[in-house]
Structures are given as structure tokens and as C-alpha cells.
Structure 1
Amino acid sequence: MPQSFGDGLNQAKRHHSVPSGIRPYVPKRQRLATSADTHDPKLSAEQVPGNRAGESQVLLDVSARVKPYLTQKPDAAGIPRRLLMRLGGHQGPVNTVQWCPVPHLSHLLLSASMDRTFKVWDGAESGRCLRVYTCHSGAVRDACWTPCGRHLLTGSFDNTTVITDVETGQQKVKFDNQFKVMCAVLHPSSPDVFLCGGHSSVVNAWDSRSSKMVKTYKAGIQQTLDILFLRGGLDFITTSDCVSRDSADRTLIAWDYQTAAKLSNQIYHERYTCPSLALHPLEDSFVAQTNGNYMAAFSSQQPYRMNKRRRYEGHKVEGYAVQCGFSQDGTILTSGSATGCAHFYDYHTARALHTLRAHSQPCLCVAQHPVLPATAATCDWAGEIKVWH
């Protein structure tokens, strides 16, 4: 008997002998062919890796809400006061959120979480998660956009920093640092070069074009909490968790990028660690978040003196990696808080402008939108992201 005829006869017998209510056996080859034929093209981008339709939704669409503001002169920074949307989906604390720096793509919101993933959302209209990236096997501690908006730089507790393609989700290049990465920052003049620090006494500089480490900065500290390039990228500031009787020479350190020499280690003399730093977008100054429950302002020119007349108080840090940041025009300084609030300060007067009761868990980051007025995103220790207007 021909094999094909025998198979058909056997299948026919099975179908006739199966009682009602019981699913008949279907061979694996037939199941695979059926599933391929019935593939649903409407699956979301995060469910179908490499889906071309999903890719176009990430970078090629311009939000209707952002589009009217692209041709207008930016207004003075405003303060968000009402909830616009909630973005849920992370299963662990969200360490940071950041809007895409490219104006026509500024509706895209990047988030990095301790649940080992980082995501890109439509933070302006739908609140939909456009893509989930699973490049790391450990918690994602830091993430940022490249200036072109087409790649993401992430640092993780799995000892690696990765540059990922936003559209495809594929790794462009991966670097092993031999330590848990706490922070990663791109060089402002050469985006192909970036610095990363973490649970180590050194800071590494990598070049993504050659995939090689180009410089090492030996700080002699326990770990690096944050890195901030100053204007032009000729020097940068690092902050550590070193606190002791003589910790004034290690809390904030200024470095020469080219020579890897220390420019100054007598910048901050109080016995508080500084979990995050932020550069003023227009003036020669930067701000350090401190575990003394205040933010301190410093000159970004040597000798990097602290402005003792400006101290931004009212929020709580309490050991969390609470971030600080500026509005696009530099008039408003923002900070999260261990109490779950988002705080807004007048940068020039240090006066508290508004306190937004954003979360029930510690609020770790407040990111103001670069185009939309009075719009900001916040994230918290419980894994929730909110957009405010």
C-alpha cells in the first residue's frame, strides 16, 4: 500500500474513532504547518522580534501631539500638575526614564528596570509599549539614547554595557567590564565613545567602533555612582559612595578626559554621598544630588567651587538613587524623592515651586519633556511609570 494512502487511512480511522468532546491527535509537522498558516500579523512588536511593522512604529511615526510644537519657538518651562497616563509592565523598580532627544521622536520614552529589561514607550499619546529589549541577564541600572535616536546605551549588573538598535532590538556591540555597571554616559563630542563605572575602583572608556577599551581612570574608590561630562567633553566629574572622616578627596572628582589625570578632588567637603549629577543646559554649572536631603550647585569651571548660597531642600533621598535634572531652558530643577513625590525648584532662587504627589513608592527620576510644555515622566521603586501634564 502507498505510504501516503496509508497515512490518510490511519488519520481517517483516528478521527472516526475519537469520542465527541476530545481533541484528536495532530502530528507535530501538521501542527507547525497550521500555526505558520494562521500567524496573526497584528501581533505587537514586543511579541514578534524583528517585525517590520513594529519597527516602523518605533522610529518612523511622528506623534500628532508633538508635531504642532516642532515648528514653534519653545515656550518657557512649565510645571505639570495632572496625571496624563500610567505605563505599567515592569516587574521591578524602574531606575530611570528618558525622553528621546531627537525632537520629532521625542514622544518615545525609554525606561530601564531591575527586572532585566528596558523598554521604549509611546509616552505622548497611546502609552503603549512599542518594544521590549532583553539584552541583559542582570538588572539594568542605567540607560540613555544616542544623539541620533537610533541606538540605546545600557549598563547592567551582569557586568556588561550594550549598544542596542532601537528598531530591530539587536545588539550592535557588547562590552564586558568585569564589574557591575552603575552608570554609563556618552561623550558629548564623540558619541562613539562612552564611559562606564560601577562596583570597581576604575572607570572605563570604550570606543564602539573598535570595540576596545581606550582609557582607564583609576580613582581608588569603592564604586562609582554617577558620571557627568562637562561642556565640550574635555573634563568630567565622577561621584562615589566613599564616606569616611577624610572622604572629602573622593566624593566628587574632576578628571581630564584626554590624560586621565585628576584635575581636582577638593570639590565637595561634606560627609554625604552624591547618587546623581546633572549639568545645566546653558550656564557653566552643575548640580549634585546628596544624601543630606538637598541638592548642591557647583561651577563647571575650575576650581569647581560650590555655591553655598544655593541649596535645594524639601525632598528625601534616604539612600535611594534619586536623580535630578533640568528643564530645557535651565530655569527649573527637578528631583524625585524617597517619599514618592516629584519636586520642582526655581534654579536661580532655589525656591520650591511645586510638589507633585506622584507615587506611593520612592520616586527615582523626573524627566521633563524636551518639546511638549509642562510635561514630565516619573518612575518609582514599584515599577510604575507615569506621564504628567
Structure 2
Amino acid sequence: MSTSAEGSDDIAKIRINGANQGTLPKTRIGKLTKAELKRRREQRRAKGPWGSWSSSSESDHETELKKQKPSPEDNFVDDNEISDTDGDTEETSTFYGKTEKDYQGRGFLHPPTDIDTDLHKPVLSYKCYLPKRTKYTLSGHINGTTSLKLLPKTGHLILSGGNDNVVKIWDFYHDRKVLRDYKGHSKAIKSLCFNDDGTKFISSSFDRTVKIWDTESGSIQKKLRFGCIPNAIKFRPLNSNEFIVGLSNSKIYHYDDRISAKDGRVQVYDHHMSSILALEYFPDGSKFISSSEDKTVRLWENQINIPIKQISDTAQHSMPYISIHPEEKYFCTQSMDNTIYTYGMKPKYKTHPKKVFKGQTSAGYGIGITFSSDGRYICSGDAKSKVHIWDWTTIKLLSTISIPGGKPITQVEWNPQETSKVVCSGASGKIYVVD
């Protein structure tokens, strides 16, 4: 009887409570820990406007899998990782000259002896003159020539690369024909550079590869692949074992062929904030200059990842080309505001306010600049198919030469052993010798 009475009392209490609260009391399941509450909140939080709702009934295993889902950062490809198969082209080279060796066993790198020009004159030892017109035309490259270099010191060979993915070397004298081609890139050539004596050269391409070639034999000495485009390349003067590569991811890599680890990479320079546009070494190889799309120019000591100088200004434009004056006291940059600026090469590296050269159209193009061997003239290409020449001392525009083809002239090189011969090329693909 007592049990029945107690049960009826409990029922009465429940009814009273239910009447007072309007509902029956909920059964408690115990307190949740802070970690469980946090996990449930994370499950219910939408991840952006397209985020999905995670119900509380989702299993812990599924939640953990979602947490482990890789982010875009996890898929980052390192600069020197292989990202695709663009650079898997087999390297071949064909010789087109009469004979690879002369009767003394010398190849085409040896300066010719059957011409009137002395090819061993030191820089600044003779007087140069203004070229006047286009004298010779070489067939060049289909769809445009993108890089042009003359053999160091003697200038009797022309190295060119183009949008046809091919590198070619030409005879500057005699019949001005191709002596050898170098095929091994699957996309357009971006940049070329000889070492000091011209025995080897380095090429970079939009296929994200850099290759070092033996100039005479056409064999490959080294091959590097990157996760981005190698825009600029330079051998270190006085030491052909070292070279630098400026990448489109804002970094500069320094390599030394004598080191086997990491493909010879000895330093990374990473202070630029955008794609590297141009590189240039000091003649003694102690420092180098870099320019970038971040609109700055920086100077570096070799293998030290701290710039010794940053040249920047709120009104400064990108500078896609750098060249050093033969006297080695100044360097010049071609700016995207149709101006060539001059800077000192001694500490403080100040802008020279009076040596500013104008008259060319360079905005939107990587227009090259070059100097005469005596340092009297500075020469620039032009987006309107012209070559401009200024007096270095007075900054006066002395000559404007119209080039056939009607397309931008982006590459210019003054022959180091000729008084008035300038080699130029650009979007038309043909290579012109102006004299």
C-alpha cells in the first residue's frame, strides 16, 4: 500500500510540474566537455558561402576525414619540382657549316683570320661611329626572335633564340648563315647567356627548363626543371661554374656546378615581391643587380640573401632590362615609362639625375639597350620598329633608324669589335645588322 501511495504521489508531482512548465521534463544525458562543444560548433559552422552543413549525427571518423582534407597550400609545388612534362623534349643539335674543324683542328669558336677586322681589340681602345642604315638581314626565327647575344670579346658569332623553340648560332662575317642549331625546348626561348669565353651557353624557356649547352658540339652539360618560368639567367663573370636564375615566382636561385647536392643550388634570394625581369652581374662577379615586376631594383652580394641596396620610388615603373656601361662606373635600366635611367656602381648606388634618356617607346615591351665599345653611345630598341642612339655625355638623341618589318625591336647588341655595327631583332623574327 505504501508503494502504491508513493507512486501516485510521484505521478501527481509530475503532473503538477507538467502543468506548471507546460511540458514534461527532458531527460539529461550528462555534461558535454569543452572539446566536444567546440567540435560540434565546428561541424555546424559553414565554410564560406558554399560550405556544407555538418549534422551532429555525423560520425567522428567522417569529421576527421574532413579535417584532413588537403588545402590549396598543401598542393603547393616547389620551385624545383617537376610540375608537368613540357621539358621532356629530347636535345638534338645539327651542324650546317662547311666543316666543323679547320685544318688545324679548330672549331667555329676560333676567330676567323680571313677578315680585315682585328677581333682582339680591348674595350675602350678605339673610336666608334653612328650606324646609318640596315645593311644585312638574317632569316632569324619564325614568329619572333626573343633573345640575342654576341660571342663575348670577338663578336664573330650571333646566338639567337625565338618563338620557334629553337636556339641558333650564326656567322657574323662571311655568308651570315646558321652554323648550328640547338633543339631541346618544347616552348619559346625566354633568355640566353654565354659564359666568358663562349665555350658554353645557358638557355631558359617557357617550358620551365634551363639547359646548359656546349657551344661547339651542341651537347647538354646540365638540365634543370622548375615549377615556374625562368625569366632571366646569367653566368657569373670570371667563374663559369656559377650562374643565377631569376624566376617568375619572385625568387632568384644561385647554382654552382661543382656541388652535387640540390642540383648545385647554393643560395636562394627571396626579397623581391613579384616576378624577376632581369639580372646583370658586376664585371668582377662580386655583386649582381636584379629587377622585378614589384617595380624595384636590388643589388646583392654573392650568396648573401640580404640586398645591399634597394632602388624604389612611388613613381617608379618596372624595368625589364639592365646594361652596364663599358667604363664600369654606371649601369642603366630600360623603364616601362619610355625612359632609360642611370645609376652609379659605387656604394650608395645613387641615381644619376642628369643621365636620363628619352625618345623611345618601350612601355609594354621588354626593350633592350646596349653601349658602343668606346662608351660614347647608348642604343635602344623601340616598340615602333626603330633603333635610337644617344650621346652618352650630352644625353642628346643623335640618330633614329627605321628597321624593316614594322614590328617592335626588342633586342639590340653593339658588336664589341666593330666601330658602327649593331645587331637587332624582335617580333618580326628577322635579325638585322645596322651599319
What range is the shorter-chain TM-score in? 0.7 to 0.9
What letter matches 2:215 in structure 1?
V
Q: Secondary structure at the match of 2:244?
A: strand
The answer to whether residue 359 in structure 2 is matched with residue 307 in structure 1 is: no
Q: Secondary structure at the match of 1:152?
A: strand
Equivalent residue in structure 1 for 2:373, among 317, 328, 338: 328
Partner residue of 1:118? 167
Partner residue of 1:318? 363
Partner residue of 1:221? 273
Equivalent residue in structure 2 for 1:358, among 390, 403, 408: 403
Partner residue of 2:181? 132
Note if contact 2:334-2:368 (Cα within 8 Å) is conserved in structure 1.
yes
Equivalent residue in structure 2 for 1:92, among 124, 143, 150: 143
C-alpha deviation, 1:302, in angstroms: 2.3
Deviations 1:236-261 (A, max 9, x none): 2211112xxxxxxx511122223221
Q: Secondary structure at the match of 1:286?
A: strand
C-alpha deviation, 1:47, in angstroms: 8.5
Q: 1:266 to 1:100 in 2, by over 3 A?
A: closer
Q: Secondary structure at the match of 2:265?
A: strand
Gaps of 5+ in 1: 1-45, 243-249
Q: 5 Å matches for 1:1-389? A: 48=94, 53-54=99-100, 58-60=108-110, 62=112, 64-65=114-115, 67-68=117-118, 70=120, 74-103=125-154, 106-210=155-259, 211-242=263-294, 251-359=296-404, 360-389=406-435
For 1:78 and 1:118, how far apart are their aligned partners in 2? 31
For 1:81 and 1:125, how far apart are their aligned partners in 2? 21
Q: 1:283 to 1:303 in 2, by over 3 A?
A: same
For 2:96 and 2:141, how far apart are their aligned partners in 1? 21
For 1:229 and 1:107, how far apart are their aligned partners in 2? 23
Q: Secondary structure at the match of 1:92?
A: coil
Partner residue of 2:65? none
Partner residue of 1:32? none
Deviations 1:273-314 (A, max 9, x none): 101001112142100100110100011122211111121000
Note if contact 1:66-1:107 (Cα within 8 Å) is conserved in structure 2.
no
Q: Which moved more, 1:56-65 or 1:269-278?
A: 56-65
Note if contact 2:153-2:417 (Cα within 8 Å) is conserved in structure 1.
no
Q: Secondary structure at the match of 1:265?
A: strand
Q: Secondary structure at the match of 2:239?
A: coil
Q: Secondary structure at the match of 2:99?
A: helix
Note if contact 1:330-1:347 (Cα within 8 Å) is conserved in structure 2.
yes
For 1:354 and 1:145, how far apart are their aligned partners in 2? 29
Q: 1:267 to 1:188 in 2, by over 3 A?
A: farther
Note if contact 1:274-1:288 (Cα within 8 Å) is conserved in structure 2.
yes
> RMSD of the alignment, in Å?
2.3
For 2:136 and 2:109, how far apart are their aligned partners in 1? 21
What letter matches 2:309 in structure 1?
S
For 2:374 and 2:209, how far apart are their aligned partners in 1? 34
Note if contact 2:280-2:323 (Cα within 8 Å) is conserved in structure 1.
yes
What is the percent sequence identity of the aligned residues? Answer: 23
Gaps of 5+ in 2: 1-91
Note if contact 1:63-1:107 (Cα within 8 Å) is conserved in structure 2.
no
**Greater Cα radius of gyration, structure 1 or 2:** 2
Partner residue of 2:55? none
What letter matches 1:274 in structure 2?
M
For 1:101 and 1:209, how far apart are their aligned partners in 2? 23
Q: Secondary structure at the match of 1:86?
A: strand
C-alpha deviation, 1:69, in angstroms: 5.2
Note if contact 1:289-1:323 (Cα within 8 Å) is conserved in structure 2.
yes
For 2:242 and 2:314, how far apart are their aligned partners in 1? 31
Q: Secondary structure at the match of 2:108?
A: helix
For 1:89 and 1:99, how far apart are their aligned partners in 2? 14
